[in-house]
Amino acid sequence: MTATHNAEAYCRKLGLEQLTLYCFSAENWKRPAEEVGFLMALLQNYLVGERQLLLDENIRFRVIGRRDGLSAEVQAEIDESIRRTSTNTGLTLCLAINYGGRTEIVDAVRAVAERVQRGELQPTDIDEKVIADSLYTAGMRDPDLLVRTAGEMRISNYLLWQISYAELWVTGKCWPDFAAADLHQACRDFATRDRRFGGLVNVQGAV
């Protein structure tokens, strides 16, 4: 759902705790400059236009990805939305902006290496938690459900570490046409999945 469909408000009403939307990938800079400029302007308008909705719906706002390349205006609006929603306690809405899964892992490895270099961490101390705590998504839950639109059968460098046990749901609809009924269907299908996380016994995951 696009902003006009109020995706975050629908998810909050469904009782979901977290929604992460892939808005602009690190690879999208390769697109024509005119298109990139339009997308950045659209993003800035979204940040301003949806801010009151976030406040009204008690939604907390986060962003993952690198700040490099983002205009000062876009960064200022990001910071303002984060600041004004920081005390909200409902759904966490996270936008992936200038984001790439491999880039995230590279940045995490660098951060861990710097800690080792400073003597704060021994190589033998490095485990999954140390790496997870160094990712952009530190403090967030791993996704339970990944919705892939446009019928694409790839994950497009998205949350590579975090979706290791996420359930995939693919729809032929493109993102602008993804509506509340599609979200409901994805959630219903998710509820029927047998989630074992490598084991033999069912494990009920949160949506």
Domains defined along the chain, listed by start: 1-99 (3.40.1180.10), 101-141 (no CATH), 142-207 (no CATH)
Query: Residue 172 has what DSSP assignment?
Result: S
Where do we find the tokens 């939604």? 59
Encode pLDDT of 80-116 as tens digits.
Answer: 999 999 999 999 999 999 999 999 999 999 999 999 9
- Region 182-196: mean pLDDT is 93
- Region 199-203: mean pLDDT is 63
Based on its alpha-carbon atoms, the radius of gyration of the chain, rounded to whole angstroms, reads 18
Encode pLDDT of 119-141 as tens digits.
Answer: 999 999 999 999 999 999 999 99
Q: pLDDT band for 176, please (50, 70, 90 cuts).
A: confident
